[in-house]
Structures are given as C-alpha cells and as structure tokens.
Structure 1
Amino acid sequence: MAARPSLFTRGLSSLSQSTDANSPNVSSPAEQRDDAKRNLFKTMRPLPTQHYWNVYFDRQAKDAKDSKKEDEANYQASLEQLGTQIESVQDFWRYNNNTPVDQIKMRESIYLFKSGFRPIWEDRRNVLGGSWTFRVPKSSGPDFWTRIQLMAIGEKLQEVLEEGDQICGVGLSVRFNSHLISIWHRDASKQKSIDNILQAVLEDLPPELTPKPDNYFYKKHSDHPGFNPPPELKAVLDSQKRAQEAAAAKSAAASAPPAE
C-alpha cells in the first residue's frame, strides 16, 4: 500500500529553539501553544474505522437513453478509484475536506464504498441489493452528503439492518439543480432493512436538511432499465423473485377473510 500522507506538516522545532528574547527565531507564547497542540495531535493514534473504505469517481455517468447500449465493462472503465484506502476518521476528514463537491460536474458522481464493493449494480456483491436515493438541492447537498458518509463509516446505517444484510456504500450524483445522494445495501429482499435505513436517515438529519417525502425513493438495482447481470447471476435473481412472489402470495392468503 502506498505511504499514507501525514495529517500535519508543521514541525515543533520552535519549541526547542533558543528562548533568548533577542533571538529572531524565538516563538511567541501563542505560537508555542499552537505547536504544543500539534505535538499532542501527532502523538495520538488515529481512530480507526471498522471497515476500510474506497473513494470512486465516475466521470462519465450513464445517460438513461444510452444505458442499454453500454455494457458493464464500459461502465467499469469510467470509474476511477481515488487515493488510498480510508482506514481512520482522520483519513475520512482529510479526504472530505479536500473534495470540492460543488465543483463536480453535471452527471458526474462520487462514491464512498467499503473495500471489496464497487459502485456497480451488477457487481456480485450488489446484484441482489438496492438503494435509497434522496434528491437534495445543490445548496444543501454538501452538508447532506457529509452527514450520510459519516453515518456510513460510523456504522449507524449498518446497525439498523436485518441480520445477514450489509451496507455497501454511499454515492452522490450531480444533476441540473440537485444532488442525488444514495445509500446502497446488499439484500433488497429484507424489507426491515429498507424501512430502517430511511428511518435512521430522517432521524439523524436536522429539520433544515430533512427532505420531503416526494424527494426520496427506494429501488432495487435489478429494476433499473440498464441493469445487465452476467448469465450466472440471472438464475439467482429469477430464483429470488420466485421466492418473493411465493412469500407474498402466502401472506395474502393468510390475511384473506375466511370463505363463508
């Protein structure tokens, strides 16, 4: 792995310099306090995240009218992994504070995904999943995005999922007058996970950022028009769909009134 950049670049040499008041190199008391703080932060161990995370950038987001013409390989080619893995809270803030979300261009996207997951519907770890998408005004998009990312790396989203389900990652896509912010999870058959993700987000957001009900929606990856899984996964999806239909029919039969 490439060497990780240092969080702080200013040294503490001024504290060891001559204290002669006439010396041109002597630090003021305020500067000495600042250096002491930096020294303290340097000696602190980074607070690790529970999972490693990667940042991806999509420079050529698929246009809806062309989605059927593009295969998975072409879409993967448009994804670029940025920087090194995020392994600590300090890593996250270094990345987040140096990523100008307001400069991301129309139809481009940025993703923060767990190591091992890629922001591709047809990826073997995502193919059975889905995502919540929130349409947010561009004026509040960066703040909303930071909060959703913190919920992801802080495991607030993971802890509300059903057993056996996983958060894959989160994404931000730029549209004409809004940001589309998404939360991906691995198993779209788990309704409790779907409901709890939404509830967790709405409870975490301050009132000024809370979206209206018509500005968020849930969708399975397999329901997107451009979804194109490999043949070996199509059989898995068909089997899951049949199982869900059978469960729905059984539930409907159980709740139906008895025949007279």
Structure 2
Amino acid sequence: MTSVSSLPGPALQASKAALSAALAENEAKENESKTDGENLEPGEIQEVDMQAQAETIKTVFSDPKNFNVKHPLCSAWTLWFDSPATKGRNLPQTPMSSFPQTPLPQTPGGAAVQGWMEDIKRVITFDSVEEFWGLYNNIVPPSQLPQKANYYLFKEGIIPAWEDEANKNGGKWSIQLPRDKNRAVVDKFWLYTMLAAIGETFDPLLTSEGGETLQSLITGVIVSTRPQFYRISIWTRSAPTGGEDDKLRERIEAIGRHFKTQVLGYPEGQRLAGALATEVEFLSHKDSERKGKQTKKIIV
C-alpha cells in the first residue's frame, strides 16, 4: 500500500502540517476537559505524551474506513463531465452561478461557450487525497464511457474552456491514440495523468532558484473518447510565442517530456505517429483556432 512518504513534496508538507494541527487540536481538547481538581498549579508545565496523541491519529493508509485525518492537496480540483447523453438534459448539478469563476467575454465566441457550458456537468470539487480516491473509485473509467464523452479535471475556479482567463493565453499538450489498440491502457494513462496533475509533478519549476514560489502552469487535464481514438490533454496557462520566450518554452517542453516518459511510459525518443495516432505535441489555443492555417507545434 502507498505510504505517506511517497506523496509529492508539496503534498507531503501539507500532510505533515495537517497531522501537526490535529495533534495540537487534540492537546487543546484534553486540557479543556480537565476537572477543577486536575488543573495545573501556577507555573507548572503540563507534560504531553506525544506518542499517545499520535496513536489517536488515523489516516486512510492505516484505517481506510474510519480515518480522521485527511491528506490535503496543494490545490482544490473540480471534475466536469459531458457526453451526448447529457446534452440538453436538466441533470442535477451545482448551479454555475455558485461556482467562482472569471466571467467569459461578451462576444459571439463567449456566447457560444456559455451555450456549451449548459451541457457540461460539474461533478464534484475535492481538495484531499482521500476525496480524490473516493471520487475515482465511483466513476465510470474512460474505457467504458460512451463515444464523444469527456472528463475535465481543472483547478477550482477555472472553467474548461479556452475563453477562461486562466486558459486564454495558454495551450495544451495532447496525444491521440487508436481506440481499439489502447482500450486496455487508457484507464491507466488517465489515472496517472490525474495523479501527476493533483500531485503538482508536471511543472518542473514551481520554485525558482532564488526560492520564489511560482504559479503552476497547469490548469487542467482532459480525456476524450471518440469513435476511433482516445485523446488525453494537459492544459497550460501560458504558451511560448517566440524567441523571447526561451525560458517558458523550456518549461513547456519539460512538461511534455514528463507527460510522455513518466506518465505515459514511452521512451523519450520513441515516435508514435501512425494510423489515427499523434505524437505527444503542444499547440497554443490561439493556433488551435487557426484551423486550416499554418500552426507551430512542439513535439517531444
């Protein structure tokens, strides 16, 4: 079974902080419950048995059913879903008006996105390791989804649309794989992609050399099922535009290499293109809109 120490660095630190907070809370409750006859004398220091306190902490790793401490993620994430079966149907979901987000532009394109958002369903928002696994173990895997269905896992507050403020200047890494040949592995690929996203392992430069904390480039990940192929994508909030973006390009390329080698498990030099397949390739959202025109792809 996975241990706490195998969590990504930021999530591990957050987990340790949660455990410390739980210990402090238990200690405070114990002191509050003391009777008058057990109150400390002036100047007396209460000895705390930290080992006994720690034994009251139960995580999902030690007690999968009765755990009392969660392992927080660095960010909260929201799962969205759509398929032909959800379009035009009034299915139960959290109203869009209650979901904090940047308003979409009041343009013909923005209006089209608003219409599309009527069909996409917000499933749940979670912010802990335990909630993620509870969600994952109770949803249909990609290999069993109907054709033309999509899962969108995005950071809380970000809509899975190009027009969202967090996405409009970005792009996406994606790979397209023939459906028949990859039905047995697509569920694993999607799981590993989600774990890399919520564990914040995609972006290699979240902390600069000077110790300055940087904003993650990752905004969300998507899996799409189509009649003849699957597509998995990683969306970024920025995209290189020219030579002046050398550092950004290096950062974007590192995300693509991590996706190809560590998440999907392909050798870095392996070429995948074939019938219905693509390489692991990056395209800005602005270039994606230029259908039929020359575009600038990055391939790893």
TM-score, normalised by the number of residues in structure 1 = 0.62
Is 1:81 aligned to 2:122, yes or no? yes
Is 1:49 aligned to 2:90, yes or no? no
Can you give the 5+ residue segments of structure 2 that lack an aligned partner in the other structure? 1-59, 88-108, 209-213, 241-247, 292-300
Match of 2:287 among 204, 219, 223: 223
Structure 1 residue matching 2:81: 3-state secondary structure: strand
Matches within 5 A, 1:68-147: 71-83=112-124, 85-101=125-141, 102-136=143-177, 137-147=182-192
Can you give the 5+ residue segments of structure 1 that lack an aligned partner in the other structure? 1-36, 63-67, 228-260
Aligned amino acid, residue 147 of structure 2:
M
Structure 1 residues 97-143: Cα deviation after superposition (integer angstroms, max 9, x where no partner): 22212222111110111001111011111000000011232321110
Evaluate the alpha carbon distance shift between residue 71 and residue 212 of structure 1 in structure 2; reply closer, same or farther with a 3 A threshold.
same
How far the C-alpha of 1:91 sits from its partner, in A, is: 0.9
Is 1:181 aligned to 2:205, yes or no? no
Matches within 5 A, 1:4-15: none
Evaluate the alpha carbon distance shift between residue 219 and residue 206 of structure 1 in structure 2; reply closer, same or farther with a 3 A threshold.
closer
CA contact (8 A) 2:256 2:282 kept: no
Structure 1 residue matching 2:151: 3-state secondary structure: strand
- Identity in percent: 26
Matches within 5 A, 1:205-220: 205=263, 207=265, 212-214=271-273, 215=278, 216-220=280-284
2: distance between equivalents of 1:209 and 1:104? Answer: 29
2: distance between equivalents of 1:203 and 1:209? Answer: 6
TM-score, normalised by the number of residues in structure 2 = 0.55
CA contact (8 A) 2:222 2:234 kept: yes
2: distance between equivalents of 1:145 and 1:81? Answer: 18
How far the C-alpha of 1:170 sits from its partner, in A, is: 0.3
Evaluate the alpha carbon distance shift between residue 86 and residue 209 of structure 1 in structure 2; reply closer, same or farther with a 3 A threshold.
farther
How far the C-alpha of 1:186 sits from its partner, in A, is: 0.1
Structure 1 residues 219-248: Cα deviation after superposition (integer angstroms, max 9, x where no partner): 111122389xxxxxxxxxxxxxxxxxxxxx
**Higher share in helix:** 1
1: distance between equivalents of 2:288 and 2:249? Answer: 19
State how many pairs are aligned.
186
